[in-house]
Amino acid sequence: MDDTDHSFGELFQTLTQGISSLISQEIELARLEVSRAVSRAGSGMTLLLAGGLIVGGGVLALAVGVILVLALYFPEWIAVLIVGGVTLLLGLILILTGLRSLRAIGALGKSTSKSTSKSTSTSASLRSRQSAKPVVTGASGV
């Protein structure tokens, strides 16, 4: 028997080993890619948090500066109330805008889930209709 002649069983075994190896390698690659992405996301989140803290400190410093300028024209307590009220108003506007945006995303998820359940029920309905049809196995004699 020649080296190039292999039985069907040997070829099938080689094929299944190759597929198994390929799947294992793909899983390992996916794991490494996810690990890398998570690492980058962690670094990005750390930088985002640090930047947010620094910006927050800058906003506080600017608010104090505005209070000091307003205190030249109004009593200090009125200056603090003006800056505090404007800051509170801006914060509430941002919060409400963010909530509206999140609700829109939630509504999208609900419509997708309704669409999925509708197509699932339609699919089940079609399958039950197909199974209810009589099966004709012989030649039709008219």
Q: What is the per-residue pLDDT across 20-69, written as a single tens digit (0 to 9) for each?
A: 999 999 999 999 988 888 888 888 888 989 999 999 999 999 999 999 99
The pTM score is 0.48
Estimate the share of the chain in helix, then strand, then coil, as percent rounded to the nearest 5.
85, 0, 15
Of 102 and 86, more confident: 86
In this prediction, residue 85 has a pLDDT band, given cuts at 50, 70 and 90, of: very high
In this prediction, residue 84 has a pLDDT band, given cuts at 50, 70 and 90, of: very high
pLDDT mean over 90-112: 81
- Domain residue spans in the chain? 14-70, 75-119
The predicted structure's pLDDT at residue 8: 83
3-state DSSP call for residue 133? Answer: coil
10 Å Cβ neighbour count for 74? 14
The predicted structure's pLDDT at residue 142: 46
The predicted structure's pLDDT at residue 126: 54
The predicted structure's pLDDT at residue 138: 52
**Alpha-carbon distance 65 to 56, whole Å?**
14
Mean pLDDT of the chain: 80
In this prediction, residue 96 has a pLDDT band, given cuts at 50, 70 and 90, of: very high
C-alpha distances (whole Å) from 95 to each of 52, 57, 116 are 16, 20, 32
Burial 4-39 (b: 16+ CB within 10 A, else e): eeeeeeeeeeeeeeeeeeeeeeeeeeeeeeeeeeee
